[in-house]
Amino acid sequence: MDWKSRRVQGILESALMEDKATSDTTTAITVDASLRASATILAKQDCVVAGIGCIEQILSIYSKLTGKTNRYEVISHPEMFDGVRVKRGQAIAVIRHNARVILSCERVILNLMQRMSGIATLTREYVDAVKKSNVNILDTRKTVPGMRVLDKYAVRCGGGQNHRLDLSDGILIKNNHISLGGGVAAVLARALEKRKPGQIIEIEVRNEDELEQALQGGAESILLDNMTPSQVEKAVARIRKVAGKIPIEASGGMTLATVPKYAKTGVDYISVGALTHSAIAVDLSMRITAEIF
């Protein structure tokens, strides 16, 4: 993750502005402006960590917004990095900074890390559920508006892979495209004609008829949507017979209970919307103490 990229910086700055972090009334009237403090971010449950890099960037952006430069440091153990499993009670990072700044940025830091770590933790559960196969777990575009780059990064921290980042990122023909575009054959022919060099055409199919049309139409990647494991297994056999080793993806209501069954069907990928639309934020806390000199 490039935490200094314009897109990420915009997300972090918006989060600080949403919380009015530079106008923290309570902190301003209760805490001495010169007080320095240490803040330890603690895991209150077992989880996979994601978002450590946001801490320093949030503090840096806060300084730019206020025009005040305060010396600070963010300390973490060399073995503590995004993607690492941590145990309940384990320290993730320590911030040493002006006490007012820490208090004003506390909620933004925790909100982002809790959500990202929740996604990473859930993703790791799905990855572990199919570890006896060669299947790769993919995310989807079912992300929080404005947060996609962080949501998808968190998926990678959990061991998953990213599907399309946005609508310009590759060709994925779905059922509504097929319905509005005149059918499988028509949309495939149009896509093959108008695609840019290097673009792979993936098409979603929901039954045997659509699958046969997709194979005859020259699909280069197949998405098997809302099929049972037995239907997927049969479809995979047909695809391999007709089109060889083209990528095959399964999707549609995947759960931790069902993904092992789909992983045995021979598909290459399983996409799981739940990774980003249903992940529960993990419980993190920030323990802040004054530094006495």
Q: Does 11 score more than 90 pLDDT?
A: yes
Prediction pTM value: 0.96
For residue 254, is pLDDT > 90?
yes
State the architecture of 6-120+280-290 in CATH terms. Alpha-Beta Complex (3.90)
Q: Which residues are catalytic?
A: 107, 142, 174, 204, 225
For the chain, give the percent of residues with pLDDT over 90. 97
Across 164-179, average pLDDT? 96
Q: Residue 88: CB partners within 8 Å, gap ≥ 6?
A: 43, 44, 45, 46
Q: What percent of the chain is predicted at pLDDT more than 70?
A: 100
The string of pLDDT tens digits covering residues 71-125 is: 899 999 889 999 999 999 999 999 999 999 999 999 999 999 999 999 999 999 9
Tokens coding 122: 């859930």
For the chain, residues classed under CATH 3.90.1170.20 are 6-120+280-290
* Cα gap 1→250, rounded to integer Å: 27
- Band (pLDDT 50/70/90 cuts) for residue 292 is confident
CATH number for the domain whose boundaries are 127-277 = 3.20.20.70
Name the E strands within the chain: 36-43, 47-48, 73-75, 85-86, 91-98, 136-138, 171-173, 201-205, 221-225, 248-251, 269-271, 284-290
Spatial distance between the Cα atoms of 113 and 18, rounded to a whole number of angstroms: 17
Please check the confidence at residue 18 and state whether its pLDDT lies above 90.
yes
Give start-end residues of each CATH 3.20.20.70 domain in the chain: 127-277
Contact 171, 177 (CB under 8 A): no
193-248 residue pLDDT tens: 999 999 999 999 999 999 999 999 999 999 999 999 999 999 999 999 999 999 99
pLDDT at position 68 over 90: no
**Residue 153: Cβ-neighbour burial (10 angstroms; 0-12, 13-18, 19+):** buried
pLDDT of residue 293: 60
